[in-house]
């Protein structure tokens, strides 16, 4: 066999290997595409079955919009079985809550997230909506959040009582082991939602669920035509509720401002009245002191007048005495002159004789 035959046989073997490899790859590709096509066909059949199942329930564009909103509402983050730790009152009628996320919480919380807090216990045992909050701090599984709305005294008390009762139920379940205690501990927690839940009547399709969870006046609505059942969007209700609360809070703030202005005016008037009363008391004291001083001056003046009167009498008496003395001295001088005149004339008379 010459060299060219060997080269030809080698080339044929190489091309056969390439063809085998390419055939295997193409076959694998078609197998995968067939599996994907089969999966799409199965999903299409399931979708058709669902459409056939709910075709009597969903009719028209409005019902489709409602179901679309319900489906979108499910695309939200929620944290179940959260343990409340503390409730702290803040100024301006607000509150701060601290809670721990459940061990099965996959999605983390971020600061500034808006959350809706529910007490997940049955309504008869204290379960209720607790309010809308903004996350302020996240440390591991511990989260702190402040209320976004002004809370009434009842809402603040609901928060405090919920945290206290859940803490007591948790302590009871730890001290009393058993299935009932575990169920109590499971229910005694908070549920946190990143979006406000939306009511879905289709969740209560079975009569057993309706009898267990719904009051009689709502059970009767399920006997109506599905088109007559109005789905309640709690997000819209809470939006209107918060809008009304803002209006009420604004009106209350205006009243408080007016009350503050009135109180401030009353306070200034009270201070002015107190100042006037103090000034009046001070003037009364000064007037009393001046009156006492005036009386003392009058007494001194009276004494001085009496002293002056006595001095005037003494002066008059002294003047009268002086006048008498002057008169007596004048008399004595006259007598002395007369005597001296007689004495001088007697020798002359004697010589004459």
Residue 150: domain span: 77-194
- Residues 88-112, mean pLDDT to the nearest whole number: 84
**pLDDT at res. 198:** 61
* Most distant CA atoms of the chain, gap in Å: 239
98 touches 143 (CB < 8 A): yes
Residues 81, 146, single domain; the answer is yes
Residue 126 pLDDT > 60: yes
Of 193, 143, 187, nearest in space to 165 by CA: 187
Residue 199 domain-assigned? no
Residue 351 pLDDT > 50: no
**pLDDT at res. 326:** 85
Residues 141, 50, single domain; the answer is no
How is residue 68 written in tokens?
């679309």
Give the model's confidence band at 96: pLDDT under 50 very low, under 70 low, under 90 confident, else very high. Answer: very high
List alpha helices for 75-178, DSSP H: 153-175
Tell me which H or E stretch contains 193: strand 190-193
**pLDDT at res. 86:** 93
For residues 57 and 267, the model is more confident at 267
**Domain-terminating residue out of 194, 210, 239:** 194
167 touches 84 (CB < 8 A): yes
- Residues 146-157, mean pLDDT to the nearest whole number: 90
What's the whole-number average pLDDT of the chain?
76
How is residue 84 written in tokens?
């409340």
Look up the CATH number of the domain holding residue 158.
2.40.30
Residue 178 is classified by DSSP as S
- Residues 193-216, mean pLDDT to the nearest whole number: 68
Out of 17-26, 109-118, 223-232, 280-289, least confident range? 223-232
Residue 187 pLDDT > 80: no
Residue 95 pLDDT > 90: yes
Q: How many domains does the chain have?
A: 2
**pLDDT at res. 328:** 86
* pLDDT tens-digit readout, 235-272: 666 677 777 877 887 888 788 888 888 888 888 888 88
Residue 181 pLDDT > 70: no
**Domain-terminating residue out of 163, 194, 225:** 194
* pLDDT tens-digit readout, 9-55: 777 777 778 777 777 777 777 777 777 777 777 777 776 666 555 54
Residues 83, 45, single domain; the answer is no
> pTM for this structure?
0.40
Residue 271 domain-assigned? no
Residues 107, 157, single domain; the answer is yes
Out of 13-27, 196-210, 261-275, 329-343, least confident range? 196-210
Residues 86, 189, single domain; the answer is yes
86: β partners: 98
């Amino acid at each position: 066999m010459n060299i060219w035959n060997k080269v030809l046989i080698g080339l044929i073997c190489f091309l056969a290997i390439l063809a085998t490899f390419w055939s295997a790859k193409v076959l694998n590709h078609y197998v995968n595409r067939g599996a994907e096509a089969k999966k799409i066909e199965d999903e299409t059949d399931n979708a058709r079955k669902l459409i056939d199942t709910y075709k009597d329930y969903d009719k028209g564009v409005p019902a489709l919009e409602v179901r679309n909103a319900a489906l979108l509402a499910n695309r939200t983050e929620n944290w179940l079985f959260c343990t409340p730790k503390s409730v702290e009152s803040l100024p301006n009628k607000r509150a701060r809550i601290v809670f721990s996320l459940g061990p099965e919480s996959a999605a983390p919380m971020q600061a500034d997230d808006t959350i809706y807090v529910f007490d997940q216990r049955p309504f008869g045992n204290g379960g209720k909506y607790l309010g809308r909050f903004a996350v302020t701090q996240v440390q591991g599984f511990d989260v702190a959040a402040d209320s976004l709305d002004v809370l009434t005294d009842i809402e603040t008390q609901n928060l405090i009582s919920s945290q206290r009762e859940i803490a007591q139920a948790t302590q009871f379940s730890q001290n009393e082991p058993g299935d009932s205690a575990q169920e109590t501990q499971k229910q005694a927690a908070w549920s946190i939602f990143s979006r406000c839940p939306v009511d879905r009547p289709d969740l209560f399709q079975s009569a057993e669920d309706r009898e267990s969870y719904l009051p009689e006046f709502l059970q009767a609505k399920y006997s109506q035509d599905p088109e007559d059942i109005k789905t309640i969007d709690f997000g819209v209700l809470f939006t209107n509720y918060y809008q009304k609360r803002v209006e009420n809070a604004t009106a209350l703030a205006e009243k408080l401002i007016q009350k503050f202005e009135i109180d401030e005016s009353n306070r200034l008037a009270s201070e002015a009245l107190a100042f006037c009363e103090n000034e009046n008391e001070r003037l009364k004291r000064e007037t009393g002191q001046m009156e006492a001083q005036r009386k003392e001056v009058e007494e001194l003046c009276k004494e001085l007048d009496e002293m002056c009167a006595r001095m005037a009498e003494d002066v008059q008496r002294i003047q009268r005495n002086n006048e008498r003395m002057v008169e007596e001295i004048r008399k004595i001088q006259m007598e002395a002159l007369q005597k001296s005149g007689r004495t001088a004339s007697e020798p002359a008379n004697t010589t004459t004789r």
